[in-house]
């Protein structure tokens, strides 16, 4: 394996990224979090416009960095964060489509495992199973914090797809998922993040906001979408600093 001595996709100086990282898919959401939730936030990376910031939250250093969309992009950025910048914990904060009638838009979901048909992990290091797992300890902190904040949190399995669900007949894919799994939502990054974290023996979790549902015609207003995302951000920040 050729890794090299310096990261290729993150141009932050060594030491400028905190051990605790939140990763939204959208780099502009990283900017939003830095400006609205962190104190003394400073931009630490911007290569390829993948923005990253470091500041403090309740006195604890935290970084927030975009991951981009899909497992290849998440795999690149999480690898470099864990390997080159010695990050210890990453919480993915993203959006998902609901595939379970018990979840309403815009409720929050915490992933207990991710099922995927991808070859991402097999290509990475010959891992040939369809399920990857988050950090049990970090998940427990998120569940505990959600109760403290009074947030409703659904806890269950998700599926990570290589393609954007609304652009395909994803019922065809969902019907292939083992029936014993309690799949609540579908997204595009968590399987890859969990596998990279496990490879480096680091921690990772995935918090999601349900933004659309095959069981509902609800469409969030801009204000409703922002408020629901703010709840997810608040939950992630308060959990990761514990």
Where in the sequence numbering do the catalytic residues fall?
212
Q: Which two tokens stand for residue 231?
A: 């709840």
CA distance 215 to 2: 46
Phi first, then psi: what are they for 172, rounded to 5°?
-60, -40
Phi first, then psi: what are they for 49, rounded to 5°?
60, 20
Residue 144 neighbours by CB distance under 10 Å: 13
DSSP characters for 147-205? HHHT--EEEEEEEE-SS-GGGS-HHHHHTTS-TTS-EEEEESSHHHHHHHHHHTT-EEE
């Amino acid at each position: 394996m050729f890794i090299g001595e310096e990261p290729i996709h993150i141009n932050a100086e060594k030491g400028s990224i905190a051990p605790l990282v939140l990763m939204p898919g959208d780099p502009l959401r990283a900017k939003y979090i830095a400006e609205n939730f962190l104190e003394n936030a400073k931009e630490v990376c911007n290569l390829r416009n993948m923005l990253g910031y470091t500041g403090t939250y309740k006195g604890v250093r935290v970084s927030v960095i975009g991951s981009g969309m899909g497992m290849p992009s998440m795999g690149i950025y999480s690898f470099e964060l864990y390997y080159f910048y010695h990050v210890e914990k990453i919480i993915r904060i993203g959006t998902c489509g609901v595939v379970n009638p018990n979840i309403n838009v815009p409720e929050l979901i915490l992933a207990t495992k991710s099922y995927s048909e991808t070859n991402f992990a097999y290509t990475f290091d010959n891992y040939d199973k369809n399920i990857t797992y988050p950090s049990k300890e970090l998940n427990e902190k998120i569940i505990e914090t959600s109760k403290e904040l009074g947030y409703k949190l659904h806890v269950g399995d998700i599926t990570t797809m290589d393609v954007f669900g609304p652009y395909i007949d994803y019922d065809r894919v969902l019907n292939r998922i083992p029936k014993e799994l309690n799949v609540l939502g579908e997204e595009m990054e968590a399987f890859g993040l969990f596998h990279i974290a496990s490879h480096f023996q680091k921690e990772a979790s995935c918090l999601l906001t349900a933004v659309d549902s095959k069981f509902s015609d609800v469409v969030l207003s801009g204000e409703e979408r922002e408020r629901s995302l703010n709840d997810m951000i608040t939950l992630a920040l308060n959990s990761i600093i514990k």
